[in-house]
Structure 1
Amino acid sequence: MTFAPEKSNPAGEEPMTPSPRAKGRNAAFTMVEIALCLGVIAFALVAIIGVLPTGVRVQRDNREDTIINQEGLLLLEAIRSGSQGLDYLTNYFDTITISNSSPAVAVFASPEAQKNIPSAGLLTNGYQIVSLLTLPKYNQDRTFTNHVFARVRAITGSAVEKSQSARDIAFAYQVVSEVVPLSVHPPDTTNYLASPLSPQEILTRSNLWRVARHEGINFFELRLTLQGPVIPKGTNYDVLGTPKTFRTLIAGSIPKRLGNATLIWPSTFLQLTNN
């Protein structure tokens, strides 16, 4: 038996390389590796899908907070300055309800909302809306308390929600307006009828009582509490979310106007004739 001599690789020649087919077969992924990759991808997708609802909810909450912050300042300035030309508010205020110790509850509604509340008065212009929101919480002697709250659809925000067909899905919130006469003097310091008091104490307390009465008709504390969203529930509605309060001080009076309207006259002060 004879053997063929081995071929030597002369110096300077490149070594023999495997065929492309053999190289591809050596670099392929195994089924185990592919299964591991699919498992990692599936795990990542499950995590992303789990976080997605949280992200959508956070985005919605941020949007609603932005709307409430913007419109709270808008309504605050409208009441404080006694604005009269905001007639576009009739497109967004659905109802304004005023209740106090009397059995009757006054309800004012937009034309669309009035269809469900036939006994409600009609909101016709911005002058009326601002006037209703400016109604003082107490009278001068605090013999009764007014509760004023309104249901409002977002004035700012997406234009898609401004159409009539989108009224039911638009973001809405509740506004509670409190215009409170400013009171900075403790009752004990203005009670000149208490006994026993010296003549000097009676004079001091009676003078302070007169000052307090004038301050009560010329200076007010305005508190607006906005809370949303408002979710319709049959004939009523649920108010969700965290309430946010806006405060400011008003230097001005609320004189009687035509139709018993209550609007602030900034930097205009009244004087009581009978003290």
Structure 2
Amino acid sequence: MEDGFTMIELVLCLGIISFALIAIIGVLPVGINVQKDNREETIIVQDGMYWMEAIRSGATGLDNLTNHVDYIRIDETSNRAGYRWEPVPASPGDNHLFLPGGAAIIGLLSMPVQADLVGPVQVKNWPQIDTGSGEYNYIRAKVRAITGSAVDQAEFARDLAFSYRMTSEVRPVRTVEDWSGYGERRPVVGNINKFRKLNFYEIKLTFEWPVFEFDGEETVGPNRRVFRSMVAGRLVNRELNRKDSATGQWLENPNSAFFFFEPLKFSTPKYVAQ
């Protein structure tokens, strides 16, 4: 009858197994972080395309966005107090305005950076080629992932769900004529330049993630990704409390702060405030 393993052999086996387990446990956090980073990157790519197409098409029926947008904040160069919009009805004493639906969200995110705000819901006469005011609108939103897992969509997971900050910049496409003054000396070129400014726009969406909140202070992580696209079509502002009985669309109002792209329609320079 053969003898079993000796104590020394058992200790050696346990030592080898322990060494392997330590190596596996040491690599495990790295693998988990890589998986988390890949998941977040995938969400940002999918959400980025979703937001870009919604803004480019002037979408007005995406009311589910109120379940994902925590707030939209607009700060001007000269007004750092800014305006804050939330999808929660404002009570007396609250410092935010109410986002009634998806149309309001898209309308605010489509606001040009050079539009002159006159209060939270009005701008000076639009369209404008150049307001000359020097104002610049900083438009950013805190968003819970739209294309994340089903668990993150639940209301009970709202505070723990993956969130990101999105900054929207809409501006007319600019060319060398804007700096050289060539169009001013050549009327035909100048009119073409005006038409281009009214009907060709660049959209830039900057995503930063993840968003943390500690003791009421919001902090954004180091990750960043930028999406850019062009739109050929006019940018029109509309009221969100009145519709045209004939077309069913929101009524146009050159003083409204809610902007929408119409890719199949174009503005002409004769309507521009000089």
Same fold at TM > 0.5:
yes
Q: How many residues align?
A: 239
Please list every run of 5 or more consecutive structure 1 residues that lacks an aligned counterpart in the other structure: 1-21, 194-201
Separation in structure 1 between the aligned mates of residue 181 and residue 265 of structure 2, nearest angstrom = 25
Residue identity in the other structure for 2:263: P
Q: 2:228 aligns with which of 232, 247, 253?
A: 247
Q: Counterpart of 1:109? A: 86
1:229 deviates by 0.7
Contact 1:138 1:181 in 2 (8 A): no
Q: Give runs of aligned pairs for residues 22-33 of structure 1, distance below 5 A.
A: 22=1, 24-25=2-3, 28-33=4-9
Q: Higher strand share goes to which structure? A: 2
Give the counterpart of 1:176 among 145, 157, 167: 167
Cα RMSD for the two superposed structures: 2.0
Aligned residue number for residue 78 of structure 1: 54
Residue 264, structure 1, aligned to residue 245, structure 2: no
Counterpart check, 1:213 vs 2:194: yes
Higher mean alpha-carbon deviation, 159-168 vs 143-152, is at 159-168
Structure 2 gap ranges (5+) = 116-128, 241-255
Match of 2:45 among 45, 69, 74: 69
- Structure 1 residue 188 displacement after superposition: 4.5
- What is the CA–CA distance in structure 2 between the aligned matches of 1:64 and 1:254, rounded to whole Å? 32
Q: Work out which of the two has the higher radius of gyration on C-alpha atoms and give 1 or 2.
A: 1
Shift of 1:59: 0.9
Cα separation, 1, equivalents of 2:9 and 2:179: 85
2 CA distance for matches of 1:192 and 1:132?
32
Identical aligned residues as a percent:
38
Q: Are the equivalent residues in 2 in contact too, given 1:190–1:208 (CA < 8 A)?
A: no
Aligned to 2:176: 185
SS in 1 for 2:236: coil
Counterpart in the other structure of 2:120: none
Contact 1:227 1:240 (8 Å CA) reproduced? yes
TM-score by length of 1: 0.81
The more displaced of 227-236 and 134-143 is 134-143
Give the distance between the partners of 2:151 and 2:266, measured in 1 at CA.
Answer: 44
Aligned residue runs from structure 1 range 1-275, under 5 A: 22=1, 24-25=2-3, 28-103=4-79, 104-111=81-88, 118-139=94-115, 140-141=129-130, 142-143=132-133, 144-191=135-182, 202=185, 204=186, 206-258=187-239, 260=256, 261-273=258-270
CA distance in 1, matches of 2:214, 2:207: 19
TM-score (normalizing by structure 2): 0.81
2:5 partner SS:
coil
**CA deviation digits over 1:74-127, x for unaligned, max 9?**
000000000111000000100001111232511101229x68x91201111110
